[in-house]
Structure 1
């Protein structure tokens, strides 16, 4: 259902709830109907399943058959040796996969949270697993969103959706209904989704989906398919079949040759069986398993957890690497890359002369003072990623706030896209306003709007998120700060270009992959321009022949058209999780 198209009253009616949330009785009834709000595994392996899976390989079955036959014909030593090797192989494989499974379960437990809800009209905390559709929850900065929800109240609410959509910037959430059809997840700005995080503001929302019915639950369901065999497993199965046929033929030939020569039939039968047992390379599975286990151990030291041992070998057969952008290729941390000030553009590492001017200091002070990021006692920054980026820039330039106390503010609003703070400095009242340049420029005086807007477009064309800054002097502190009056007649300060930059090591890794014959491909839910900028910087896009397509363009393609271009497509942007999985499969 397109919940983003419905208003609050329509949702309340559909989910049989209200402003005070569900009653305890109704919530218990719905919990029985919908189940716990958790991601379920379709086929969860028990310890016994994990142990017995070590004996499913064809080579292992051949070895067990050889051990039984050896015991029957009296070769107890050979039988014991083969059984010991098979058990050793099983133990090594079981221990590696069991530890990996336990580590995965421990990681999943980190996601268990509590939620603040309205139950019987009273605010209370409950385990997030007990949420049901119709619950009214309260979201605040720092909260994990515990289910898919429709926002019904937003006080400057921003949500980090990078884990779900690949969007680098926190998304401003609104209450109004959206009229468009088939909106991708990243554009449903009046909803929030399980697994994302509130970075700023607060709000109230109605739970509309829980557990496997959430967007992240749908992704989990897509991934719960039958496992395919790795190249090593396929080769070992093929080798086992060929070896079985060859040994059987040799034994038959040996038996027939002895029979034609008049040898004793019982003697020839026992000799043929002994030959079959001797021809089986009983140490091969153990050698392969131990080698894979050692490789998996090395991977763990590099912070890579191998869940299934054969996957280690699969890495050596890779020809394409399909990678996400945010947090994988990039730092998942916004960074001020350049400033535009008084007609000049300044790179981050060239701000020394800029910071020495009076106007430059005022611009940096605006970055520091018009900010809601904080630094805790451990030195860690907390708040919206964009705010933190500006805060870090100001600290880097040794900007102080002690003599710029904040005395009032007009909070950020997603409708007007501005934030204003008032400060007392040297017995003067100074206000700083920051926000979307297209809106801010219209509120400034004595400025060439057209040329400044061209700079905004140029910076945005390079994949930067652009923020504008302005200031104003006041004779006295306004009694009731109001955006309609106190955010007009501003003096323009400058622009800041912000981006989630590539990791330092990524460009080298991409280059090494290409040299090794491996083609890296970026698949992200972020905007095409941002994706293209990052891909060009790290070398994934190397020329005009390399293509960037969006999820919408991909959906419009038939399979033949896609296959005809797939080797040239290096970046997929604004794609849904389902599309990501389909791309990898193809």
Structure 2
């Protein structure tokens, strides 16, 4: 209990440990006590049976989802709306005046609108929850002594978790070993500087920000490697405590919806002021105050587009779900709007334009070149002298050739060994397929060593790994230190260092080159570079391998490697272009979206793949540049050079930032893809940051707006297409709904100013707005994309939501509604119809014109017959539902009593349909003559 009090004193709420006791401030205990307390093994990890037991006891490693206080609070929030305040005030006054039926109808409409808003909020929340489940953090754990990759929610206290640069820490961990591990804990502590970790036991009262021997859930590993045991999961983590204290619901708000909400508020105030003026004008002309109040309420209710913000949010949510079905998970809703304006896509090569299924095809040592047969990650294949593997050699002769080759060429043996032992990947069999755990490039080198007959497990048993320099974007190589396992004190005491990495970087560290017999010879860097250039020219990615012996007791760092390594060989691998990449690039070009490849790979490899997928790439004309060449370009000339070039190879994180900034300086809306820690700054800088869901690090995902679940460039093109479609549908909804609100307001205003009888009553306007918004307007959210959507140029970023052409169309339809309503109202009265019948005709006219206009709004430039009358079945269903509602309000005695309507005859319906058809024809003519104005 003393330790529990210490934990509380340190500012941490005790959480249950694996044995059910309180959390004893794990940072303040020696490692062996932490392991004992958690009932785990810091080398072998937990047993599978124990994991299952703890999962049943402690539950999933997820944060409890906070909500806005449950159902009742969500319902209450729906009343927090300017229109609702107006309606409630109107209901109170009509009740005071004795108009009990009108008051009851207004209250009923408020409740129905509240219910609609509640359903919309719940559905939008559910959409976001579904997106959360699509992008799950995965963790590498050791269980039963074997590494495996599991969803982070499956972690339990005591699990042994492996960490690498780019990982998101999946739970609170006490570190058990590490190498150069640094973490970004700003999400937890607010400190922007990364924190260097160690294994030193700390005082129990050490605050969270200073606990160097711990890493916490939600933080990011920015450098190095390490391992730690889980001490807290889910809501019991430090992040869970903050989550609990916040207790806030995630609000679904975007700049677009906020802009529209502000527009609605401003319009509400303006219309209320206009209604007040109309009320005073009517009273001044001798009209009765109750009658004028009813008219003023009708004007206000009719003119306010109260459902617009909610409808826009639902439309965005539907679009986001569509994108998710096309394997593009939108993490931030505002990006949907931005996608419609994207003018340039900057994409990585590996895994995006290519399959990310590396296969080593060729090897090279000072003794000669070799072919590697087989493909994928299966063990089938051999390493043969160049040319032998493609002549149809039998399995027997191939195997013999491999053994003879490995025995004859020691450089080949050491190159294969370096590729496999200086390696953190695993290849596991799942049914008939082989799955990679780790980096695909490392997996390819691991498989190749097996094809070459190298027994990596035997080497690691005799020379276990004792240290490592992890691969980083700055170093561009990985090194491992292997010490001999000595049992009797004999031996030289020499350690072996194995290195693999980018050719240019490894060559900087090499002084010698291994020959066939295994001796160190002269290193001819120019000859090696020429070989690599030939490989890259055929689309192969080239990595170099090296080794050295290091005296016992010497630390593993770059200072001790520089100028001491021996180059053992080159491994050239092929990552085939994705089948859909070329078509996707072509579609982007057709849409006016430029495509640029930004990669850390060799310029020759990048240019070859770029040409294969339809991107122009040539060193001679400046369309292909290296990072070194970029640095040599003056800052004032950089935007022009970046605009012209399409392929950028061997670029650093700083250069990626410069590229994005240069493009944005030219007015581009830039989308940027990335997967590594080094890509995060550029992802944040870009207008749309796109992370790889499969191969991407958690750092990249956290920095992104969109996550691709299949890492495919074709999905980016699909996301742009869906983004354009969502924005199209938003515009269609706004263009459809505004004329109705404007027309209703103008009809009432004309009546008040003319001292005439109201053609429609407030309750009738409420019926129109309530039913049409749901049954008709929201159906536009399901509108499929129009033909030629990706043949248009990108939408200009500064272009207003409503162009002048669309504004004129809104005014045209509003005018038609006002004229048509007054005409049929006066005509019915002149023909002997009662006031209720005339108003019923006016209500049905409004709905009929809206319905015909809805079909026109399904495309802002094409006729409904060209896009297909039944291509959106939801619209047809909505029209049938609305028609049933209109028949009910016209002929149902109960509805007649509630809404002051009356049955009308066939001739009236014919007049209504005639006006609706005429209005539709006028809009069609306007659309035809203005279709080039968009």
TM bin, normalised by shorter chain, reads 0.5 to 0.7
Tell me by how many angstroms 1:97 deviates.
Answer: 1.6
Tell me by how many angstroms 1:282 deviates.
Answer: 5.7
Question: What CA distance in whole angstroms lies between the structure 2 residues aligned with 1:540 and 1:195?
Answer: 41
Does 1:356 pair with 2:386?
Answer: no
**1:364-379 to 2 correspondence within 5 Å?**
373-379=427-433
Question: What CA distance in whole angstroms lies between the structure 2 residues aligned with 1:407 and 1:313?
Answer: 49
Question: What CA distance in whole angstroms lies between the structure 1 residues aligned with 2:274 and 2:686?
Answer: 47
The TM-score, its normalising length taken from structure 1, stands at 0.54
Question: What CA distance in whole angstroms lies between the structure 2 residues aligned with 1:54 and 1:495?
Answer: 65
Tell me by how many angstroms 1:453 deviates.
Answer: 2.4
Answer 1 or 2: which has greater helix percent: 2
Does 1:575 pair with 2:673?
Answer: no
Does 1:234 pair with 2:275?
Answer: no
Change (3 A) 1:408 1:233: closer
Q: Which runs of 5+ in 2 are unaligned?
A: 1-25, 40-58, 145-153, 182-197, 200-212, 376-383, 392-396, 407-411, 421-425, 469-478, 483-496, 501-505, 548-566, 618-622, 625-637, 690-934
Does 1:80 pair with 2:108?
Answer: yes
Quote the residue 1:104 is aligned against: 132
Question: What CA distance in whole angstroms lies between the structure 2 residues aligned with 1:270 and 1:323?
Answer: 59
Tell me by how many angstroms 1:235 deviates.
Answer: 3.9
**1:480-491 to 2 correspondence within 5 Å?**
none
2:528 counterpart SS class: helix
1:546 counterpart SS class: helix
Quote the residue 2:513 is aligned against: 442
Aligned length: 470
Question: What CA distance in whole angstroms lies between the structure 2 residues aligned with 1:25 and 1:418?
Answer: 32
Quote the residue 1:389 is aligned against: 444
Tell me by how many angstroms 1:335 deviates.
Answer: 0.9
Question: What CA distance in whole angstroms lies between the structure 1 residues aligned with 2:37 and 2:374?
Answer: 61
Tell me by how many angstroms 1:150 deviates.
Answer: 6.0
Q: Indicate the RMSD between aligned Cα atoms, in angstroms.
A: 6.8
Question: What CA distance in whole angstroms lies between the structure 1 residues aligned with 2:80 and 2:330?
Answer: 19
Question: What CA distance in whole angstroms lies between the structure 1 residues aligned with 2:362 and 2:175?
Answer: 37
Greater displacement, 87-96 / 297-306 = 297-306
Larger Rg: 2
1:442 counterpart SS class: strand
Of the three residues 293, 297, 307, the one matched with 1:273 is 297
Question: What CA distance in whole angstroms lies between the structure 2 residues aligned with 1:56 and 1:323?
Answer: 45
**1:482-501 to 2 correspondence within 5 Å?**
495-498=570-573
Answer 1 or 2: which has greater strand percent: 1
Question: What CA distance in whole angstroms lies between the structure 1 residues aligned with 2:431 and 2:226?
Answer: 27
The TM-score, its normalising length taken from structure 2, stands at 0.37
2:678 counterpart SS class: coil
Change (3 A) 1:511 1:235: farther
Does 1:91 pair with 2:119?
Answer: yes
- Is the 2:354–2:575 Cα contact (8 Å) retained in structure 1? yes
Change (3 A) 1:373 1:103: closer
Quote the residue 2:459 is aligned against: 409
1:79-117 deviations in whole A, cap 9, x for unaligned? 534542442243133124235326626965x75897779
1:166-213 deviations in whole A, cap 9, x for unaligned? xxxxxxxxx99xxxxxxxxxxxxx99997999xxxx98668999999x
Change (3 A) 1:392 1:445: closer
1:319 counterpart SS class: coil
Question: What CA distance in whole angstroms lies between the structure 1 residues aligned with 2:314 and 2:86?
Answer: 17
- Is the 1:418–1:440 Cα contact (8 Å) retained in structure 2? no
Quote the residue 1:466 is aligned against: 543
Does 1:51 pair with 2:74?
Answer: yes
Question: What CA distance in whole angstroms lies between the structure 1 residues aligned with 2:266 and 2:124?
Answer: 29
Change (3 A) 1:93 1:306: farther
1:46-70 deviations in whole A, cap 9, x for unaligned? 5449835973885764685587469
Quote the residue 1:172 is aligned against: none
Quote the residue 2:288 is aligned against: 264
Quote the residue 1:124 is aligned against: none
Change (3 A) 1:574 1:408: closer
Of the three residues 434, 450, 453, the one matched with 1:380 is 434
Question: What CA distance in whole angstroms lies between the structure 1 residues aligned with 2:260 and 2:457?
Answer: 73
Change (3 A) 1:130 1:79: same
Change (3 A) 1:207 1:112: closer
Tell me by how many angstroms 1:497 deviates.
Answer: 2.0
Does 1:453 pair with 2:537?
Answer: no
**1:208-219 to 2 correspondence within 5 Å?**
none
Quote the residue 2:928 is aligned against: none
Question: What CA distance in whole angstroms lies between the structure 1 residues aligned with 2:351 and 2:214?
Answer: 25
Quote the residue 1:335 is aligned against: 358
Question: What CA distance in whole angstroms lies between the structure 1 residues aligned with 2:682 and 2:233?
Answer: 22
Tell me by how many angstroms 1:262 deviates.
Answer: 2.1
Q: Which runs of 5+ in 1 are unaligned?
A: 1-13, 28-35, 118-126, 159-174, 177-189, 420-432, 471-491
2:571 counterpart SS class: strand
**1:278-357 to 2 correspondence within 5 Å?**
278-281=302-305, 284=308, 288=312, 291-292=315-316, 294-304=318-328, 311=334, 314=337, 317-319=340-342, 325=348, 329=352, 333-336=356-359, 338-341=361-364, 353-356=387-390
Change (3 A) 1:434 1:336: farther
